[in-house]
């Protein structure tokens, strides 16, 4: 399979960098805070393409080479970007799959623009912020604003602890491998990522609003998620009428990387059942 070629589109007055691979019903994948769309290439893109889907990956605003929009933006802007990309690609409605902030964008898109969403899959999602989440987000913003750089080994350890299952980290060889992977590809907080972090200030509960979502929906919780504990995903599933819920064991916030076969199976089964 040839690798998809990066492209750019002018959407909502900014540049969105995206890649498309495969043929069949359109699947658009939405990444979380600070992460580029290429993260999906490791596991989800090949599986979805093999299953007969046309897959679009993109970099959210705030992540170069998409426009960084460092002076700020809203969650609604990111929702509109995703809708605009689906319309630009011309094969909508699409299955939309998001994780973390990307899942929040996905459920807001399903609410605001059901005309462009064939089905929504939300991984490691949430409908409200907890005090602990708000404290972590405030700390991340403060580190950037005060120009504090953590030692790379310590940052890798914190990232692994917050995003991987204890089962993964209990194996010394696995833990070393993950620490190496995280250390080789650290998440750099650029001005655009700092603008994404600002989205987490003053968040209010959206659970009541999600009762109006009508598109087919699947919520997937990761049982060992420390960043967004699994009860938050269950709250979203309970709020969306007729939403399906699945929980992946031995998976932290990076569950789509830790347990890709199970996560891919859930996504593909959902899409296949709603492929009409």
- Tell me which residues are annotated as active site: 100, 225, 253
> Using CA atoms, how far apart are residues 38 and 69, in angstroms rounded to an integer?
20
Q: What is the spatial order of strands in the sheet that 54-58 belongs to?
A: 7-11, 14-21, 54-58, 26-30, 94-99, 117-123, 217-222, 244-248
> Using CA atoms, how far apart are residues 80 and 101, in angstroms rounded to an integer?
14
Strand partners, 143: none
- Residue 33 has what DSSP assignment? T
> Using CA atoms, how far apart are residues 83 and 75, in angstroms rounded to an integer?
13
Host H or E run for residue 195: helix 191-197
Tokens read off for 251: 């998976």
Determine the angle formed by the axes of helices 75-89 and 101-112, rounding to 10 degrees: 70
> Using CA atoms, how far apart are residues 146 and 266, in angstroms rounded to an integer?
42
């Amino acid at each position: 399979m040839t690798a998809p070629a990066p492209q750019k589109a002018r959407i909502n007055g900014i540049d969105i960098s995206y890649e498309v691979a495969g043929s069949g019903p359109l699947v658009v994948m939405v990444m979380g805070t600070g992460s580029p769309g290429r993260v999906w290439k490791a596991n989800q893109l090949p599986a979805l393409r093999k299953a007969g889907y046309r897959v679009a990956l993109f970099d959210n605003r705030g992540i170069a080479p998409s426009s960084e929009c460092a002076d700020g933006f809203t969650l609604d802007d990111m929702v509109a970007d995703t809708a605009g990309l689906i319309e630009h690609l011309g094969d909508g409605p699409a299955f939309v799959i998001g994780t973390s902030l990307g899942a929040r964008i996905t459920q807001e898109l399903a609410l605001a623009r059901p005309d462009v969403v064939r089905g929504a899959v939300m991984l490691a999602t949430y409908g409200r912020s907890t005090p602990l989440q708000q404290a972590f987000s405030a700390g991340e913003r403060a580190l950037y604003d005060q120009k504090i750089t953590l030692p790379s080994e310590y940052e890798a350890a914190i990232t692994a602890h917050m995003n991987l299952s204890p089962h993964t980290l209990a194996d010394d060889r696995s833990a070393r491998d993950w620490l190496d992977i995280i250390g080789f590809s650290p998440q750099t907080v650029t001005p655009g990522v700092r603008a994404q972090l600002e989205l987490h200030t003053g968040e209010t509960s959206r659970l009541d609003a999600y009762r109006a979502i009508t598109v087919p929906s699947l919520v997937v919780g990761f049982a060992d998620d420390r960043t967004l504990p699994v009860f938050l995903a269950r709250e979203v599933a309970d709020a969306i009428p007729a939403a399906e819920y699945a929980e992946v064991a031995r998976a932290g916030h990076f569950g789509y990387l830790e347990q890709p076969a199970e996560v891919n199976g859930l996504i593909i089964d959902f899409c296949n059942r709603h492929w009409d």
